[in-house]
Structure 1
Amino acid sequence: MSEQIKVKSDTSPNSSNPVKIQPAKTKSDGAGNARNRIYVRAVKGIYQSVRQRMGLVCMLSFLILPWLQYQGQQAILFDLANQQFRIFAVTFWPQDLLLLAFIFIIAAFALVLVTTFIGRVWCGYMCPQTVWTFIFIWFEEKIEGTRHQRMKLDQQPMTGKKAFKKIAKHACWIGFSLFTSLTFIGYFVEIGHLFIDFFTFSAGWLVSFWVLFFTVCTYGNAGWMREIMCTHICPYARLQSAMFDKDTYTVAYNPARGENRGPRSRKADPKTLGLGDCIDCNLCVQVCPTGIDIRNGLQYECINCGACIDACDGVMDKMGYQRGLISYTTERQLSGGFTRLFRTKLFAYSIILVVLIALFTTTLLSRTPFDLDIIRDRNQLFRENFSGEIENTYTLKVLNQSQTTVTYHLSLSELASEYKWIGEKSITVSAGQVESIPVTLAVDPSLLSDTRNDFYFVITMKSGQDKPVTLYEESRFFKGR
């Protein structure tokens, strides 16, 4: 517990010199607004370039993947109605729930590992809430102007020009929300028909409801709630203090170098004036998407996006000072020590993650493209025929989990040296379908060693030039007394 970092609120100064925060929040127009609005200032720098490129990759991947085709059908489709998840050549069924559990567990441990090492970079660079929020802010900047212009516009009385800009902005927000909502639903419904059916009012009420529901959610989250999602709703922000330690890399301000802060001219010597490198310009506050002052220390609202680093580095360049007043650093390094990159916690998380990935890979590779379910005759466990043989009846259900029609061959293993198979020994099943075949087995009782004899149904699939795939399913043959 001594290694954990105490997360501070944004109202507790980190030094003896309290932060003089210029107003970074201005009430938006409209009476009765319960919260102040954050006007995010645009900033350029290496971290914002990385964030924008990662966001672009994530957004393009999201928009393109449902349109990909494979063998004449949608390559990625999570068909909930038919309970099958299709990913290119592989189809997953409810029986593959273990794989889904593995994916969630691996994702959770990967998030914990990354957070312990380098903080909330997921939130700052790849979280959908962050990506969509910055896209909505981009629409604001293109239509309403810079941060200062947006603040000035909201303070003006309603005019025709202001109304036009507001309507244009919200129209872009709603249009983009609808487009991304349709794309998202396209992962669960055939996207080739979804757009046409929706705009021609031919889509079913359930599909239309979910499209409109996610449109409203996207518009509200990225357009209005924004940082509220990160600071009050998302549980990840509240859990970060349990993952952080003194060697976790986070966005932090160096008070030993920055204090005492205050304005000065470029030519002035800060040491002569008794000042640190921080000129108290408040740009780090103005560019922050959650509206915090990083100089107050580590706060749970910080999403590690690095915007304040880029803003501060730009100011340091103009002043002729060394960069890094705000940087990705650790609590131990700020205290004058050396960061421990290799530590027990990280090693343990890494080992667990590797083991989980190995188990997932093994389970995935051992998965067969078909399944066999055996149902015994519940009315009569066994019966004796006119020849004195004992008969047991079964219903074999064959599930074709592949995306092509396949013929399967059935046989037995480990029952008796001689037996009679009454029924078909091969069955053809269409892609993604289940077919049933009744089978009766007859065995001379003298060949059976016990009243209950364990054996295996053997099902073999041979497709083209591929190596045959064989599956063994255990069952029982009852002899009686």
Structure 2
Amino acid sequence: MGVDKTIDKNQLIFQTKHIDEKIYVKEQKGFFQKIRRYLGVLLMLMFIGIPFIQYQGEQAVLFDVAAQHLKVFSYYFYPQDLLIFTLIFIIAAFSLFFVSSKYGRIWCGFTCPQTIWTFLFLWIEHRIEGNRQQRIKLDKQPLNFNKALKKVTKHFTWLLISLFTGLVFMSYFVPATEIYPRFFTLTSSSLIIAWVLFFALCTYVNASWVREKMCQHMCPYARFQSVMFNANTKVVTYDKARGEQRGPRKLNQPKSESLGDCVDCNLCVVVCPVGIDIREGLQYDCINCGLCIDACDETMAKFSYAKGLIGYTGETTSRTNKKADFGYLTIILLSVVFLLVWLANRSQFEVTVLKDRHALYRINNAGDVENSYQIKILNKTNTATEFELGNYGLDNFIIETSQQVMAHAQTTTTFTVTLIAPEQYQQKFKLFEFVLIDKTGKHKPLKIGTTFHYF
């Protein structure tokens, strides 16, 4: 098959450039940019500072991989507490759905780590290489000392920030008071160093080289966001009726009746971190960051036109959309209530019981029937607890154990227990419960069901 000769060559070149050319983002000030910067600084400080919070002499928030638990102040969560993570993910997911149904991809534009680190790297690039025009001019220059110095300085600074990001991330898994001094004194294990360098590499590649391609092609949220959009969703929109016919003009020149308010300055395009033209309509690339709004409002103010040619707008406000919002909020609220109730009633101990696999029962020297069990107690608290062992459902049975029933802090303790039936016992099997009573009375009795066998 031959090539279609009717394709517009200029259009084809434009599309190729749009895909292949590097995006040079112009630095922009304004209302939404100020919000993003304040949010970005706050979130970064939280990210860096949380591992340094101390509670009872230890790091307050820590993923202890070796001990297989997550510590959050006085709470310790183990794999057995998977329900809490499920509830947290449900709350986070429906919160994201709710925000997306109201304001589109505003998460991407203001609080996504990819966006925050990308804008940080862009800020550094502006400081070292200059404004947009200066950066374009620098890239077009042949390699010389000045260009090499700026490029090396920029990438070295990016690498330092990436390395620090990797260290901060790993401080959620290794105590911060331990990982920083050991890493900089080169006494960390090779495994820790490898993970720090891995996360540093990921940060450097994503924020310096990938950038907008993550939002355009890799992030799945960009693909399924349209499912959550409705007529009430406020997204960044260009007022075509007011702006067209667009055309350039001088500041003090009266506007022609044939022209709209758009002066075709192209600032909304050059400030866009993903390089789209919002005047062409809603596009999945748009991350609702509001930079084009700030740029357009600044231009409108210069020409003494009304602001809002580009803004957050929705088509309508309908009762159906309000019902959807109510549904999202109801699910979020119910999940939060269920989470709080679960936390309030969560046991600080996990008990399991296993029968002796080698013999369901034995006849001892006295001629009595006995069963052996292994009882495992996971103590999720920071204090050792001694229990009194009993049973519910077996009368006149004797419990024998070779050790004190002491559950040590933050570990699983195993006990071997023998249960001896009374004389003339003939029942084939019987259901009962082991009962563990905290001798201090601080915790509720623990019960675990099992069976007594005799064939």
TM-score (norm 1): 0.86
Determine the C-alpha separation between the residues in 1 that align with 2:383 and 2:389: 20
- 4+ residue runs over 4 A deviation: 23-27, 338-342, 445-448
Are residues 1:399 and 2:384 paired?
A: no
Q: Which runs of 5+ in 2 are unaligned?
A: 1-10
Give the whole-Å Cα distance in 1 for the aligned partners of 2:89 and 2:326.
21
> How far is the alpha carbon of 1:230 from its aligned partner?
0.5
The alignment status of 1:468 with 2:443, answered yes or no, reads yes
After superposition, residues 57-456 of structure 1 pair within 5 angstroms as 57-270=42-255, 272-330=256-314, 332-333=315-316, 338=317, 342-402=321-381, 404-423=382-401, 426-444=404-422, 450-456=427-433
One-letter amino acid of the counterpart of residue 209, structure 2: W
Partner of 2:452: 477
Identity, % of aligned positions: 44
What letter is aligned with 1:75? A
461 and 117 in structure 1: CA distance in 2 versus 1, 3 angstrom threshold:
farther
Q: Note closer, same or farther for the CA distance 1:339–1:280 as it changes in structure 2 (3 Å cut).
A: farther
Aligned residues: 443
What whole-Å deviation, never above 9, does each CA across 1:17-48 have from its counterpart, x for those lacking one? xxx9xx99999xxxxxx931111111111111
Deviation (angstroms), 1:233? 0.6
Q: Deviations over 1:272-319 (max 9, x none)?
A: 431111111111111111010111110000001111111111111111
RMSD: 2.4
What SS class does the counterpart of residue 469 from structure 1 fall into? Answer: coil
Deviations 1:424-474 (A, max 9, x none): 6853333211111111122326678x53222222223466xx843322111
Instruction: Note the 1:37-76 alignment, pairs <5 A.
Output: 37-76=22-61
> 1:372 Cα shift?
1.2
Find out whether 1:457 has 2:434 as its counterpart.
Answer: yes
Residue by residue over 1:113-168, the C-alpha shift from the partner in whole angstroms, topping out at 9 and shown as x without a partner, is: 21111111110011000000000011111111111221122122222222211111
In structure 1, the residue corresponding to 2:273 is in which secondary structure? coil
Distance of aligned partners of 1:444 and 1:49 in 2 relative to their CA distance in 1, 3 Å threshold: same
Separation of aligned partners in 2, 1:24 and 1:171: 33
Distance 2:25 2:16 in 1: 9
Q: Distance in 2 between matches of 1:354 and 1:462?
A: 38
Sort the Cα spacing of 1:380 and 1:323 in 2 relative to 1 into closer, same or farther, 3 A.
same
Measure, in 2, the Cα distance between the counterparts of 1:428 and 1:385: 27
2:369–2:425 CA contact under 8 A, matched in 1: no
Aligned to 2:158, the other structure's residue is in SS state helix
Amino acid in the other structure paired with 2:273: P
Runs of 5+ in structure 1 lacking a partner?
Answer: 1-19, 28-33
Instruction: State the one-letter code of the partner of 1:460.
Output: I
How far apart are residue 80 of structure 1 and its match?
1.7
C-alpha change, 1:319 and 1:105, in structure 2 (3 Å) is same
The aligned counterpart of 1:9 is: none
Q: Distance in 2 between matches of 1:67 and 1:208?
A: 20
Measured after TM superposition, the shift of residue 105 of structure 1 is 2.6
